[in-house]
């Protein structure tokens, strides 16, 4: 398979008995969660970063992929890690955060860390994506996916410049499914969102915290990080909070 960037490939870092599954978001790649994975690896965790179906190669590969394919990839990865490690935590960015929530709802995991996980988006007319796709088959991100060549985190930002418009219906379905069963989450959870996130609804984190069934719930609000905060300098702040949280969850 020809990946768009070296960091767009799935990764696996062998470490201790606590494994952490990292899942990227809609149109993203494992690159966007790799730096967090490197920080967790250095802290002694086993880390796996999966590449969701249709991602990491070329935009056209997203066309035939449906929400069931994304969810199956997530649940399969969790199941395989649970066969090898006594502790398995799930952590995801954006749509990957919603997949993380669903995994925690359906499977027994050590802890759950949704990052920038949308319960709703700020994208206008996302509800009409199916109909709009007939006239606008591909939607491009506002900046066209361009990355500043001087950005020290540029290698961690590999992703598509846009997406098949119809694919938004799959994203919406996963958001609905994640929210519908939040009550089923019983493991410790750490919710991460930024005040500077202009992609998802501002109350997404509040909804997750209010409706999740977990008794142990923590919140990390970032001051001004972008939506893909794990691919920004804010990732160090995230890692400094995630590492002790994972250790505490393991000992709970």
227 is catalytic: yes
Other CB atoms within a 10 A radius of the CB of residue 207 amount to 17
151 is catalytic: no
Plot region of 40 (φ>0 → left; ψ -120 to 50 → alpha; else → beta): alpha
Other CB atoms within a 10 A radius of the CB of residue 17 amount to 13
The answer to whether 246 touches 111, Cβ cutoff 8 Å, is: yes
Catalytic pick among 116, 197, 204, 232 = 197
Between CA 59 and CA 74 the distance in angstroms is 20
Number of helices (H) and strands (E), helices first, in the chain?
Answer: 7, 9
5 is catalytic: no
Catalytic pick among 111, 116, 227, 232 = 227
Catalytic pick among 94, 111, 167, 194 = 94
Which of 189, 13, 186 has the alpha carbon at shortest distance from 92?
A: 189
Q: Point out the residues that are catalytic.
A: 94, 197, 227
């Amino acid at each position: 398979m020809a990946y768009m960037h070296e960091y767009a490939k799935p990764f696996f870092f062998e470490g201790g008995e606590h494994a952490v599954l990292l899942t990227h978001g809609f149109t993203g790649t494992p690159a966007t969660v790799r730096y967090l994975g490197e920080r967790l690896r250095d802290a002694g965790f086993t880390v796996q970063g999966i590449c969701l179906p249709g991602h990491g190669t070329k935009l056209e590969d997203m066309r035939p992929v449906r929400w069931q394919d994304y969810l199956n990839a997530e649940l399969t990865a969790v199941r395989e890690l649970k066969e090898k490690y006594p502790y398995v935590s799930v952590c995801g960015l954006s749509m990957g955060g919603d997949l993380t929530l669903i995994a925690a709802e359906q499977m027994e995991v050590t802890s759950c860390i949704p990052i920038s996980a949308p319960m709703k988006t700020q994208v206008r007319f996302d509800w009409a994506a199916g109909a709009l796709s007939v006239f606008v088959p591909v939607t491009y991100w506002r900046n066209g996916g361009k990355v500043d060549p001087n950005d020290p985190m540029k290698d961690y930002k590999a992703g598509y410049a846009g997406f098949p418009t119809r694919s938004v219906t799959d994203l919406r379905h996963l958001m609905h499914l994640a929210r519908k069963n939040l009550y089923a989450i019983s493991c410790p959870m750490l919710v991460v969102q930024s005040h500077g996130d202009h992609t998802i609804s501002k109350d997404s984190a509040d909804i997750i915290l209010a409706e999740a069934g977990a008794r142990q719930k923590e919140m990390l609000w970032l001051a001004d990080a972008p939506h893909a905060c794990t691919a920004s300098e804010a990732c160090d702040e995230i890692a400094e909070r995630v590492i002790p949280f994972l250790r505490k969850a393991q000992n709970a």
